[in-house]
Structure 1
Amino acid sequence: MSEDKGANNNQRLLAAAREDNEELLLEIFEAGDFDINFQDGVGNTALHIAVQNGSADVLEHILSHEACDVDPINRINRATPLHLACQLEDDGARSYMVESLLEAGADTKIRDKRGELAESFVPPTDEETKKLFRKARAQIMTVSKDDIASGELAGFFSK
């Protein structure tokens, strides 16, 4: 049983992410009356907290929520969950979290308060995670070219 039984669902959501408590998270989802993007005092959302704690199952549920903002920025370091994922010490957890966030549409171009991109925190020896960033950039380039070629601007460029 959670120690946060008397807390509101926003606080319980943060606790579920902190405790890697999938059961509590699903209970909150079922009950409703919560904000998936609720921020604690320093601006961390349940997504930030799940990433920091390597809570893979909780992360997937949060990302599956239709209102989830995949790029919330906290107040201390102006970091997104992607920034935090890249700083995880465990290579497997780092790679998994980064892949999940990128697949959910995380923006690789957001800079933290020091002007750092998330990718700059990936250790030089972590080729797997670096590969995920290269793949994400390639997909962005492909989508951008397709949008120009087939979108409303296509006629503009052919004049």
Structure 2
Amino acid sequence: MADEEGASPRELLLEACRRNNTDLLESTLADLTSAASKSGKKPPEFVAEILNNARDGVGNGCLHIAATYGSYEVMDILLDQEGIEIDELDRMEKDTPLHKAVRYTNSMDKREWPHGHTIVEILLDAGCDPRIRNKAKLKPVELADPRNAELRGMLQKGEFAMQAGGDVVEEDDDGPTGSASDSE
């Protein structure tokens, strides 16, 4: 792990999220995995605990910071970690990472919105709940710039998918399968 005089694993994780530094993130995750193994802990659970408890001074977790800075590659790695909390609330605004991603997109020039959409999309694909309201009682879609129809549509579609739960039927590419019943 980190030297006694160096940065802590928490500091390294948060810095990797701020800077979209995948090398730093991967080496820190490898160090955490190694430390867990050496101490007889289960690596996935140990890593998830560190990731879920790593906070900056104002209560932002790893995913909050990655979303705030548009750190797509880091976010992709984080979302692959078993047990990571994807709908955690920050301490100040009670925002989820999805709220932060919408704020990030809103802060961009209109020409750059597609990058912000990518950040929102990866969070929705990971299962972030777009129905969660923050301290101001706003859902992510209610934070979205009204001119950004694509972002608003993406969030509305995510809300609908969550609302429908298991009721949404996915189309198969396997072709017709005949009767849905085996009791013929």
Normalising by structure 2, report the TM-score: 0.71
1:36 aligns with 2:51: yes
SS at 1:87 equivalent:
helix
When the two chains are superposed, the root-mean-square deviation of aligned CA atoms in Å is 1.7
What is the match of residue 20 of structure 2? 20
User: How many residue pairs end up in the alignment?
Assistant: 142
What is the match of residue 156 of structure 1? none
Q: Which amino acid aligns with 1:111?
A: R
SS at 1:113 equivalent:
coil
Looking at structure 1, the residues matched to 103 and 162 of structure 2 have their Cα atoms a distance apart, in angstroms, of 23
Residue 134 of structure 1, CA deviation? 2.6
SS at 1:43 equivalent:
coil
What is the match of residue 136 of structure 2? 114
Check whether the contact 1:87–1:94 (CA below 8 A) recurs between aligned residues: no
Gapped runs of 5+ residues in structure 2?
Answer: 36-46, 169-184
Residue 71 of structure 1, CA deviation? 0.8
Q: Which amino acid aligns with 1:21?
A: N
Residue 93 of structure 1, CA deviation? 2.6
1:11 aligns with 2:11: yes
For residues 49-105 of structure 1, the C-alpha deviation after alignment (integer angstroms, 9 at most, x for no partner) is 111111110111111111211111111111111111111223123211110111111
What is the match of residue 85 of structure 2? 69
Normalising by structure 1, report the TM-score: 0.82
Identity %: 31
With over 3 angstroms needed to count, the CA separation of the structure-2 counterparts of 1:115 and 1:138, relative to structure 1, is closer
Of structures 1 and 2, the larger Rg is shown by 2
With over 3 angstroms needed to count, the CA separation of the structure-2 counterparts of 1:61 and 1:77, relative to structure 1, is same
Looking at structure 1, the residues matched to 118 and 145 of structure 2 have their Cα atoms a distance apart, in angstroms, of 15
